[in-house]
Structure 1
Amino acid sequence: MMSTVDVTGGLSDFWDYIRQPRPHRWAVWGVAVALPIFIFYGFSKYLIPHEEPKRQIIYFENWTQDRSVEEIRADWVARAKATTLHNAEKRAEYQRLADMMGVEYDSAEADQVTRETLGDEAALAAKKKPEPPKRSTIAERAARGAQAAPAATPATDR
């Protein structure tokens, strides 16, 4: 059907149409060129705005030059313990989510590392399920409201 495409005839017709003197030829060309430029500028400027990077102040720890090797290692161990505790808390959250969804999630090896690093008490504290906030019943709120409500002042018409 369209095995051979010949565009030369269409291009020659277009060129002949452009070359003919028409009264508003340059105004139409100006609008035809300016309108896409204006649209592309609007898209680039307002649709996807470019935000200048904001200044950031980054603080870092500054150590003295005379720190001993033991102090450096103690700091490393403290950071490692804090990271392990954070990971254990996140792992416990994922375990609770997996239990709710019925998905198998085995963290036995990671829990063993946590117990070795932090001790049994800290590992159990990290796995401890946080208590949901206690919600009062409607009756309790009504009882508190009656006690805490100030005496109503009589309304006067002015």
Structure 2
Amino acid sequence: MGMLNNWDIGGGVSDFWDYVRQPRPHRWTSWGVAIAIAILLFWGFGKYLIPYEKPKPQIIYFENWKADRSEADIRADWIARARETTRENARRRAEFQKLADMMGVDYDSREADRVTRETLGKEADTLDEKPAPPKRSTLAERAARTPPPPADEAPRR
């Protein structure tokens, strides 16, 4: 245990340096082989152990319009996109309002709601309505729908 407490790093480094400086046959060849093996190992780990996948080519689709579109068609497309963006923002705002209500944070969206109503008109009233989730039957309802066991068979307990 006493040997692990007294480390002499300086002595070890000086011994290594004395060994390296001694003229030995094939000293430079050994160094070259050792360095080449280390480089080869690092290169192999980098290439095969941690592989890099080249990005795959992507196809990006975009809308294509006729060159002879009228100004009215262009404006109608703008308005349709603006309405869709407004709808999406209103849905997101409603989710944030629910979160704020749950956390007890003041969240005032009156101005944004006013703009939404101006943009969408009567359609804005239907944005908050979500389709009713499918009604799930209770265990008692499912048991009531199950046909009774045959008369000759005793109930299992």
TM-score class normalised by the smaller sequence: 0.5 to 0.7
2:103 to 92, 101, 111: 101
Match for 1:143: what amino acid? A
Q: What is the TM-score with the length of structure 1 in the denominator? A: 0.67
**How far apart, in 1, do the equivalents of 2:60 and 2:149 lie?**
52
Secondary structure at 2:68 match in 1 = coil
Report 1:1-158 matches (<5 A): 14-20=16-22, 30-31=33-34, 34-35=37-38, 38-39=41-42, 41-42=44-45, 45-47=48-50, 49-119=51-121, 121-128=122-129, 131-144=132-145, 146-147=146-147
Relative to structure 1, the CA distance from residue 113 to residue 35 in structure 2 (aligned partners, 3 Å threshold; closer, same or farther) is: same
Match for 1:137: what amino acid? T
Secondary structure at 1:134 match in 2 = coil
Secondary structure at 2:54 match in 1 = coil
Relative to structure 1, the CA distance from residue 86 to residue 150 in structure 2 (aligned partners, 3 Å threshold; closer, same or farther) is: farther
Residue of structure 1 in register with 2:153 after alignment: none
Once the two structures are TM-superposed, the CA of residue 111 in structure 1 deviates from its matched residue by: 0.8
**How far apart, in 1, do the equivalents of 2:149 and 2:74 lie?**
61
Report how many residues are paired.
Answer: 139
Relative to structure 1, the CA distance from residue 125 to residue 13 in structure 2 (aligned partners, 3 Å threshold; closer, same or farther) is: same
Relative to structure 1, the CA distance from residue 24 to residue 115 in structure 2 (aligned partners, 3 Å threshold; closer, same or farther) is: same
**Aligned CA-pair RMSD:** 3.6
Once the two structures are TM-superposed, the CA of residue 105 in structure 1 deviates from its matched residue by: 1.4
Q: Give CA-to-partner distance per residue, 1:11-47, whole Å, 9 cap, x none.
A: 8765432123679976687457634752564256534
Q: What is the TM-score with the length of structure 2 in the denominator? A: 0.68
Match for 2:63: what amino acid? E
Relative to structure 1, the CA distance from residue 39 to residue 96 in structure 2 (aligned partners, 3 Å threshold; closer, same or farther) is: same
**How far apart, in 1, do the equivalents of 2:104 and 2:45 lie?**
50
Secondary structure at 1:123 match in 2 = helix
Identity %: 59
Match for 1:38: what amino acid? L
Secondary structure at 1:127 match in 2 = coil
